Structures are given as structure tokens and as C-alpha cells.
Chains A and B, each alone.
Chain A
Amino acid sequence: MRKALFTTAAVAAAALVVTLPGALAKTRATTGTAATPGVTKSLITIGGTFPLSLSPAATLYAPIPKGMQIYFSWVNSRINKGDRKRGVYGRQIRWKYYDDEYNPAKTVQFTNQLLLQDRVFAIVGSLGTEHNQAIRPMLNQRKVPQILVSTGASEWGTKTKQFPWTVGWQPDYISEGRAYGQWIARNAPNAKIAVFYQNDDYGKDYLNGLKAGLGAKRSLITSEQSYEATETSYASQIARQKATGANTWVLLTTPTPTGRALGTAKALGWKPDTIVINSVSAADSVMRSLAASAQVGADFINGAVSTAYLKNATNPQYAKDPWVRNYYRVMAKYGPGLDARNGFYYYGFAKAYDVVRLLYLAGKNPTRASLLAATKKMNWVNPYTIKGVRVKTSARDHFPLSQFKLIRWRNGSWAEFGPLVKGR
């Protein structure tokens, strides 16, 4: 036995000693292709990570990368009227994305795969606050653009000095929360507010914005209750909220919990006068589904308030809008069988529009640096957003989209009301 042990150890050590110097002799440089990675004469490769499976919190966002893909397919095949070329300056866009299961460790691994194996030009639209936080230092160190991330955390816009290569896209949660706070303070100054929020940075960002918007009226909040993604029943929390006698209910949740919360409130016999639903949960299809259901019903949510910055593709108000029609046409052509009424396809579509604009702005021979420079001087109208919203960045403004409007649910559809709100 001892002899076997010795022999084995000796053999292993010998193998190591023999091979190690050979291995160490050639330490390769880790970076260093001179040409711009991801850009060839005919192709631009971009990529991102998204939660596509196994995550109670996030698989409903899976249509986003698909919506982006469909838009890119359209751009790749249509002929630009300006230079009579397909794609962007004649380059086809290749869009790669991986499933990170909403796990930041996997986000890091797959982002590495995109960078090192698929050799993408930029990381675009990756989803998740913590997920983007996990890859941010590495991407900034390697000077890789991390653009138009799919999360509304405010720090993409506030930490630009520290992390210049990281750029957000959508109006941030704090701004949205602030808008709700200001609206309530103005229109219902004696309200008793109950807030139900998701217990993570998303929900807490919203909550902080709400309190900031309420300002002095912060004391109107009578109840703050949260839930975890691991819970399916909120009766305990909502019963408490009902018991405080609140008449205004602010839901800072994601779509499925929103439905559950509303259903639970109704089952508990509580009907607040005013219901505020955050924009992510206020997707048209979700609202219609809730209105049609017996558990919630149209009456319960009639008058609910939210915000929007994208055109609502299922709203009759936009039925004749040429861009919305374009959306449906392109979806039907490149994504037959997909349910185009799902707002997350539309979200991806709208974002992809801005990606393409940025690629154009980066010039005929784009480099990562020129793409980054482009993100600092965005200034156009994205036709998929509502009227008045402008995509704009500058030396002082690092939030591409920061405007939105309040909307109210009336008899089966959302209607915009009030002036354009400036989030930042």
C-alpha cells in the first residue's frame, strides 16, 4: 500500500515536473488584435446575456433578445435609402445571446464567451442590475462598450465617470418612482398610502424614488410591505396593508406578482381608491388578462395609474401609427408564430432601433472608441417611443431615455394624460 502511494505520487510529480516548464515557457498575451474585434468588412457581431430559463424572477423577459433579433434581421435585409446598402453601411449585424439563468456568475462566464470566443464588438442590452454590475469592472477595464443595458437602475447614468464604457437606456426606476410620488402629492394630498414592493434593488429603487417624489408628504405612507421572489402568496402582507386603512396602493412589482397582489386584495375585500402600478407590470397584455379574469376583473383596475415611454402596440390609439404597423409587419415576417402583442418583443424592437442608430453614428469604420463616443452624443427621436420623448445624451446627461408620461387605465386600455414628465 505504501509502495503504491509512493509510486503514484512520484509518477504524478514527475509528470508535473516534465510538463510544467514547457507550459510556462510560452505565456501568451491575453489581448491584442490590432483590428477592431467584432467588425469585419461585412459583419458586425454584438452580443448580450439574458435570463431565458429557470428563474422565477425573470424568464418573462426572454422575448427581449428575440425582439432585438427580429429588428436586426429586418435591418440586414432592407436596403437603406441613403447609401443603398443593406445592414449598417453594408455590414450585416450578427446578434448573439446566451442564457445566464439570472445568475450573475453565469453572466460573467457567458460575457467572457461572447468577448473571447464569439469576439463581439460590444455587449448590448444585457439584462439585470446585479448582472451588469458583475461584468461592469471587467468590461470597463478591457474598454469594451457595455451599452443600452436592460435595467432601469439609476447608476448607469450616475456612475459614468467611474465606468465610462457602461451606458443605460430606459428611464430609471428612481425617476419613475419620483413621478408617482409627485403625482400623489399633487392630486391626493391626504391619501393614506400603502406600498407593496419587491424586496430587491429594483423594488427598493422605486421605493426611494417614490419617497423622494412625495417629499414632505412622505409621512402619508402608512404601510410598506415587501415580498420575495420565492413567495407565491402575499395574503399575509396585504392583509396588514388593508388593516392600516390605506386608500392608495402603490405596486412596485413585476407582472406575475402584480396579478397575485391584485387578486389577493380583492379576495381580502380591499379595494383601494387609487392604484398605482409600475411600468414594467403595466404591460397591456397583462392588464387585459387581469381585466378579463374573475379574480381581478375590469372594475378593480379601472383607473389604475402608471407611466410609459414606449408606444403601446396593442392600444387602439396607435392602431394607425405607421411605426407600430411596421413593427407588426416585421414581426410577422421574421418571427411568424410569435405573439407580437407581448410588450417585451416591442421593447427589444425599440431598443434595437437605437442600437442601429448608434452603429451608424459610430461611423463607416466603427471602433469601440467611436461607438463609445457615439453614446455620448445621442440626439434623435426613436419613433417607437411616445410623442415628445427624445433619445438624448450629452456631457452632462448620461440617461438616453429619461422622459415618460403618466397613463391611466380606462375601460380596457391605457390613455396618456398630463404633460411629459422629465425624469432627470
Chain B
Amino acid sequence: MLAFAFAEFVQQIVSGLATGSIFASLALALVLIYRSTNVVNFAQGEMAMFTTYIAWALMDRGLSYWPAFLLTLAIAFTGGAAIERTIIRPFEQKSALAIVIVTIGLLIALNGAAGWIWGAEVKAFDSPFPNTTWDVGGVAISSQDVGTFCVCLATVALLWAFFNLTPLGLAMRASAINPTTSRLVGVRVGWMLALGWGLAAVLGAIAGMMAAPTVFLDPNMMLVILIYAFAAAVLGGIDSPIGAVVGGLSLGVLLNLIGRYVDFIGPELRLPTALLVLLGVLMIRPQGLFGHAVVRRV
């Protein structure tokens, strides 16, 4: 009996890690944009959803999974960079609040556009992982979940390597922290910003394509995930990719455990309770788990 209960406990954790990986993937995109341009991109989820629809449309026209996947990433990259150059660039020197409004406008427009172009009916989305489920001691682990988790870890590893080991990554970090000095040193700051958005759009597309098989494709699929991703990113430290992943995974597990074991809260309060826990953590450590404390000069 105890073994049974324990298996269920592990199951909740495993499922939590799976959902958490989805939050983490989108959170990574948010963190990337923040690190490279100091902006919170509220449209990140919708950009991810839109690019996932593009992937779906490509596959609907006959392309098989991997070519569609790669083509979508390329389109996402170009789209993200284009958005930065056209819509975001004019506001970068002005207030952050203006960018918040612009990204919100973008969110709304993309949401409507997806519904208009492809319809709001739910669609199934292929998964690159074989559709198997393993039973490990009473705990069901699906290959989709494992795959999403691994992709998430691989992404954060690649990002870390990019930012810390490559000259391009270094240049991007420099342009975010200190654009003027970076220019003096020869960094093309404008390109770095566009690159940041392009890469983030790619991450978003990956997040969308990892989520769509289980969440199913509809124009609103990312609206809710964005809330979780935002929370996860801030929890982990808005400028830390590792934090985003830790934040996302913790949030996923936390949600599941609260839902399973704290019954008196009721189904409605799962999300608020998780958010409350998050905010509690933030109060103790305002910069997030892995974030850098902000030093403000007087």
C-alpha cells in the first residue's frame, strides 16, 4: 500500500517535471531576450505559438517532421530579428514601459492572427519522439516527457556555452550591459539586439513544438503557459538561464504536488497557491534563485 502511494508520489513528480520542462523552455526564451535587450517580451508565448502553427502548416503540406522543424526555426529566427528591428528598436532608447505596451500589442495581434489564419479548432501536432510509455515500478514515463526534458537541458547547456564560451555570446552580453562601451570596442550593438530576439524566437519555437504534442495546438495554448514561464523566469532570476530551468521545473512539480496533496485548497486555488509560494521565495531573495543582485549607483 505504501509502495502504491509512493509510486503515485513519484508519478506526480515525474509529470511535474514534464510540464515544468515546457514552462522552462519558454522561460529560457524570456530570459534570453532579457539578457540581451533588458526587455520582458510579453509576446514570447504568442510568437512561439505562431511559429508552431507555421510548423504545423508546413507538415500539413507534406513536409516531414525534421525538415519542417528546421525550416520553422529559420523562419522564427528571421521573424524575431525582424520584429526587433522594426517594432522594438524605435523604443529601446525610450522607456521600458513603452516596450511593454508594444509587446502586449504584438501578443494580441498574433493571437488574433493565428485564429484568423488557421481557425481556432484544436489540432494535433506530431512529436519527434516515438510514442511509447515505459512503466518503471508503477510510474508511467512517456518518451515525450523524457524528450522534452532532455531538449530543455540541452538548450540550457547550449545557451550557457554560447554566452560564456563564444565570442559572439560575450559580445551579446556586453551590448546588453553597456552598449556605448561595446560600440567603442567594435561590437555591432544593433546586430546583437536583433540576434538576441532571433535566438529567443528560435527558443520559443522549440518550446512551442515541444509543448504542442501534449497540449494540442490552438491559438490560446501559450497564453496560460506564458504566465507560468514568466513566473518561472522571475523565480529563477530573470537574467539566468539556469534559473529559468530550475524555476520552471520547480513550478511544475509544485503545482502537481499542491494539486495532489493539499485538497482543502480546492482546484481553483492550485495556481494562486503556487504563485504565492513563488512570491514568498522572491521576498526572501528578491533577485530570484540564481539572479544577480542589482547594484544601483547613486
Query: Do A and B associate with each other?
Result: yes
Residues in chain A within 8 A of chain B (CB atoms):
53-56, 59-60, 62-63, 199, 225-228, 230-233, 235-237, 239-240, 243, 255-256, 259-260, 263-264, 266-270, 285-286, 289-290, 292-297, 339, 342
Q: Is B79 an interface residue (CB 8 A)?
A: no
Which 5 A-B pairs rank lowest in CB-CB distance, beginning with the nearest?
Answer: A293-B124, A235-B15, A267-B142, A56-B220, A269-B140
Q: How far is the CB of B164 from chain A (nearest CB, A)?
A: 33
A295 and B124 contacting across the interface, CB-CB below 8 Å = yes
- A295 and B120 within 8 A (CB): no
- Does A255 lie within 8 Å of B121, measured CB to CB? yes
Q: Which residues from 211 to 245 on chain B have a C-beta closer than 8 Å to any C-beta of chain A? A: 211, 213-216, 218-221, 223-225, 227
Residue in chain A with minimal CB distance to B11:
A239
Interface residue ranges of B88-135 to A (CB < 8 Å): 108, 111-112, 115, 119-127, 131, 133, 135
Chain B count of residues within 8 A CB distance of the other chain: 51
Q: Which residues of B contact A294 (CB under 8 A)?
A: 124, 126-127, 131, 213
Residue among B8, B115, B216 with most chain A CB within 10 A: B216
The one of A59, A230, A237, A259 in contact with B224, judged by C-beta atoms closer than 8 angstroms, is A230
Please name the residue on chain B nearest to A254 by beta carbon: B122
Looking across the interface, which residue of chain B has its beta carbon closest to that of A200?
A: B268
Q: How far is the CA of A7 from the CA of B5 in the complex (A)?
A: 75
Q: How far is the CA of A256 from the CA of B216 in the complex (A)?
A: 7
Instruction: Kindly report which residue of chain A lies nearest to residue B8, judged by CB atoms.
Output: A243
Asked whether A263 and B8 contact (CB < 8 A) given A228-B267, A235-B18, the answer is: no
Cα separation A59 to B22 with both chains bound (whole Å) = 23
A289 and B133 in contact, given A59-B220, A233-B214, A236-B12 (Cβ under 8 angstroms): no
B121 contacts A260, CB within 8 Å?
Answer: no
Residues of B contacting A289 in the complex (Cβ-Cβ under 8 angstroms): 121-124
Determine the chain A residues whose CB is within 8 A of the CB of B18 once the complex forms. 233, 235
B72 beta carbon closer than 8 Å to chain A: no
Interface of chain B, main secondary structure? helix
Given contacts A53-B112, A233-B15, A295-B214, contact A60 B120 (CB under 8 A): yes
In the docked arrangement, what's the CA distance between A63 and B256, Å?
35
Question: How far does the alpha carbon of A296 sit from the alpha carbon of B218 in the complex, in Å?
Answer: 17
Identify the closest chain A residue to B7 (Cβ): A243
12 sampled A-B residue pairs with Cβ under 8 A: A53-B108, A55-B220, A233-B15, A236-B255, A236-B256, A239-B12, A239-B260, A243-B8, A293-B124, A295-B127, A297-B131, A339-B121
- With most chain B CB atoms within 10 A of its CB, the pick from A228, A239, A263 is A239
Contact flag A292-B124 (CB < 8 Å), given A230-B224, A231-B271, A236-B12: yes
Residues of B within 8 A of A260 (CB): 214-216
Say yes or no for B259: interface residue by CB 8 A criterion.
yes
For A295, give its contact among B4, B15, B213, B223 (CB under 8 Å). Answer: B213
Query: Does B36 have its Cβ within 8 Å of any Cβ on chain A?
Result: no
Residue of A53, A226, A236 contacting most chain B CB atoms (<10 Å): A236
Given contacts A53-B115, A59-B120, A230-B227, 8 further A-B contacts (CB under 8 A): A60-B120, A230-B271, A235-B256, A268-B11, A286-B122, A294-B126, A295-B124, A342-B121
| A54-B108, A255-B122 known; A232+B224 contact, CB < 8 A | yes
| CB contact under 8 A between A226 and B267, given known A235-B19, A236-B260, A290-B124 | yes
Bound Cα distance A174, B22 (Å): 36
**Residues of chain B lying within 8 A (CB to CB) of residue A63:** 119-120
From A225, A231, A239, A339, contact of B8 by CB (8 A): A239
Q: Give bound CA distance, A64 to B267, whole Å.
A: 31
Q: A59-B220, A269-B140 are in contact. Are A227 and B214 (CB under 8 A)?
A: no
Whether B250 is near chain A, meaning CB under 8 Å from some CB there, is no
Q: How far is the CB of A352 from chain B (nearest CB, A)?
A: 20
B271 touches A236 (CB 8 A): no
For B211, the chain A residues whose CB sits under 8 A away are 232
B 1-33 to A, binary, CB cutoff 8 A, 1 in contact else 0: 000100010011001101100100000000000
Question: B144 interface residue, CB < 8 Å from A?
Answer: yes
B145: Cβ under 8 A from any A Cβ: yes
- Which of B124, B225, B256 interacts with A296 by CB under 8 Å? B124
In whole angstroms, what is the CA distance A316 to B41 when docked?
47
State in angstroms the CA–CA spacing of A290 and B122 once bound together.
Answer: 9
CB-defined interface of B162-195 with A at 8 Å, one 1/0 digit per residue? 0000000000000000000000000000000000
Q: Give the most central of A225, A269, A270, A296: most B CB within 10 Å.
A: A269
Residues A263 and B255 in contact in the complex (CB < 8 Å), given A228-B267, A230-B224, A339-B119: no
